[in-house]
Structure 1
């Protein structure tokens, strides 16, 4: 199964939008991500519905930030993307009467729930401004 990289990709886009001097078109974002502009519009529409970006039509239009980076956490964007499951593995439900399967599923469910709670806590503690600051530090380190 291919990993879901929408969170990483949208964080990337949002940092670029913050750095941009003008709105970015869906075509430009699609070229940056190596995807189709329709995919960009669909994904960005979800972020717009949550108030993180805005879109302007016409000449000079495109996508821009609607919320300061310091007010957006990684968890906010994760939720705006539909809160995709963080784990690629699932539980077996081949024999609901099997006690071994029940025991395995109970322990895996508990472990995944704990791991997901920890991940959500960490995502909530990091803002996009933190990522932008990291980017600026890396940029300064290479002398640009």
Structure 2
């Protein structure tokens, strides 16, 4: 899984917390603690796919365009990270029975693991994440 997934979940949870108020990419980047350019790249992807909308200019920023209860984590995983569970294999020895066949033998295992993870993620929404954050913050 790559960090774009984490940035997407964090950004959408942050925007859901604001309940319709605008947030700049710099503000979101400070919350995520990553460079604003990385956040802008993820926000651009989220905007392109209809999760958020933006307002340009002074006083501009980003806001959710979908209900936090409608956005599931599996959607965000597929958007940002699909295929990332499968590792890049080194160049194994093709003369070795293991080296020549290990990648193809493991492909199905990694594909199945990713599908199981997606099925698990589909049970959770941005609203669920936000509720958990609020619960932990109130302890």
In the superposition, the TM-score normalised over structure 2's length comes to 0.84
**Bigger RCO (CA 8 Å, 6+ sep):** 2
Cα shift at 1:97? 5.3
Q: Tell me what 1:129 maps to.
A: 127
Q: Tell me what 2:67 maps to.
A: 68
Cα shift at 1:95? 3.8
Q: CA offsets, 1:122-141, max 9 Å, x none?
A: 1122111111221222233x
Gaps in structure 1 of 5+ consecutive residues: none
Q: Tell me what 1:10 maps to.
A: 8
SS at match of 2:122: helix
Alignment RMSD (CA, Å): 2.1
In the superposition, the TM-score normalised over structure 1's length comes to 0.81
Q: CA offsets, 1:57-76, max 9 Å, x none?
A: 12221011010011111111
Work out the CA distance in 2 between the residues paired with 1:84 and 1:58. 36
Work out the CA distance in 1 between the residues paired with 2:101 and 2:55. 53
SS at match of 2:34: coil
Cα shift at 1:98? 3.8
Work out the CA distance in 1 between the residues paired with 2:28 and 2:83. 22
- Number of residue equivalences: 138
Q: CA offsets, 1:45-86, max 9 Å, x none?
A: 000111001110122210110100111111111222252502
Distance of aligned partners of 1:23 and 1:120 in 2 relative to their CA distance in 1, 3 Å threshold: same
